[in-house]
Amino acid sequence: MARAKELLAGTRRLVALTGAGISTDSGIPDFRGPKGVWTSNPGAERTATLAHYLADPEVRRQAWRNRLGSPAWTALPNADHRALVDLEHQGRLATLITQNIDELHQRAGSGPKRVVELHGTMRDCLCWACGDRRPMGAILDRVRAGEDDPSCELCGGILKSATISFGQSLDPYVLRRAHGAAASAEVFFVIGSTLGVQPAAGLVTVAVEAGAKLIILNAEATPYDPLADLVLRGAIGEILPPLADL
């Protein structure tokens, strides 16, 4: 903790990369942790795979049921999200790259321009055919009213949340921003991710090769731990808030 505090206190170019683990204290389960959605139900991964989603109406119906029942709609930011807001207000956090789709960083008070949402947001919905984008709430109202696989009101195309599914490319502009931030980081701080998804996890290598000090905070080991200057193994809620109290 002392060494981590020293690294954070001494930088004005901290870049954080967060994963699902920072939102578990808000009641949103992660995917691959011990209580993760996919750990307990490996079949659920199909709904997050683009090819299955586009080809199979039953996968879409399941995905709409999952969206409707997501705990993320009522989740509130927790002390870990707020700790990153503190680091931003202290002038230390330059960019917050997140793999999360729940927008809890922005709701906690992180500057929207500093947040790079690598995997998009669950709070918008996109037509796969014409690109029409609108808030997810309006489409979920249609699901509640009985449509089990709602289609685009403009063109009849398939609707999907504005998130990145497996087999789908990341937005090149968003990826370039994340790359640029990682390459200019003095300290790169990974929080709550298994670092099992590319290209997000590869940002760690970009940062380290550009000379950043690497801190990884997660309950479990990650494949990038050997590259880290510091590995903090434990509960984020017990480690991050006191670390950010500089």
Q: Residue 48 CB, nearest distance to ligand NAD (Å)?
A: 8
Q: Residue 151 CB, nearest distance to ligand NAD (Å)?
A: 25
CA 204 to chain centre: 15
Residues marked as catalytic: 119
**Strand, helix or coil for residue 57:** helix
CA-wise closest residue to 224 among 184, 189, 172: 189
Nearer to ligand NAD, 16 or 152 (CB): 16
Tokens 């680091």, located at residue: 87
Rounded to whole angstroms, the Cα distance separating 102 from 71 reads 10
Nearer to ligand NAD, 151 or 168 (CB): 168
Nearer to ligand NAD, 11 or 193 (CB): 193
What are the E-state strand segments in 9-110? Answer: 14-18, 93-98
Nearer to ligand NAD, 100 or 110 (CB): 100
Q: Residue 157 CB, nearest distance to ligand NAD (Å)?
A: 23
Report cis status (omega within 30 of 0) of the bond before 199: yes
Chain contacts with ligand NAD (rule: CB under 6 A) = 19-21, 23-25, 28, 30-33, 36, 99-102, 119, 192-194, 196-197, 218-220, 235-237
What are the E-state strand segments in the chain? Answer: 14-18, 93-98, 115-117, 120-127, 133-135, 159-163, 187-191, 213-218, 230-233
Nearer to ligand NAD, 57 or 71 (CB): 71
DSSP state at residue 195 = -
Q: Residue 237 CB, nearest distance to ligand NAD (Å)?
A: 6
Q: Residue 197 CB, nearest distance to ligand NAD (Å)?
A: 5
Q: How far is CA 198 from CA 12, 44, 104, 141, 232, in A?
A: 27, 19, 22, 33, 22
